[in-house]
Amino acid sequence: MSRLGSLFNFFKHPILTFQYISHRVLRWTLAPLFLLCTIPFNILLAKNSSLYQIILFLHILFYLFAFLGYHLEKKELKIKTFFIPYYFTMMNYAAILGFFRFIKGNQSAIWEKSTRKLVGNNLK
């Protein structure tokens, strides 16, 4: 984001600036950070409303499914009901870690090839 600062000029590139801010800046920086605030705010809202109590229950259930997805993946089982919340949670967790590494100056811009393990005759 710091290298593409010229894209923040709304008067020069209005559509591109809107797309850049909404699709890159908000999605990959602020959205994962706001997810950290949702459970405490849900708890506060649930004190006064049965609707928010249901939403809090579903919210906790979502993260419980993510936790189960984590354990099932360790056993190499991918059940969509659990894997999708797990994947969503881990992607946002990785974005938060990357954001803080970037802020601290510890984030490398060099891509490294991931290691793959050999399963039978196929790479996995």
- Answer yes or no: is pLDDT of 41 > 90: yes
Let me know if residue 123 belongs to a domain: no
Q: Give the sign of the dihedral formed by CA 66, CA 70, CA 75, CA 78.
A: positive
CB 21 within 8 A of CB 8: yes
Residue at 116 is within a domain: no
Q: Is 119 contained in some domain? A: no
Average pLDDT for residues 59-82, to the nearest whole number? 91
Does residue 12 fall inside a structural domain?
yes
0.75 exceeded by the pTM?
A: no
Q: In this structure, is residue 96 part of a structural domain?
A: yes
User: Which parts of 1-124 are beta strand (E)?
Assistant: 118-119, 122-123
pLDDT tier for residue 123 given thresholds of 50, 70 and 90: low
- Does 112 fall in a domain? no
Domain count within the chain:
1
Q: Could you tell me if residue 121 is inside a domain?
A: no
* CA 63 – CA 59 distance, rounded (Å): 7
Burial of residue 86 (CB within 10 Å: 0-12, 13-18, 19+) is buried
**Structure tokens, 28:** 């990959």
Residue 90 structural domain: 7-107
- Secondary structure (3-state) at 77: coil
Task: Tell me, yes or no, whether 1 lies in a domain.
Answer: no
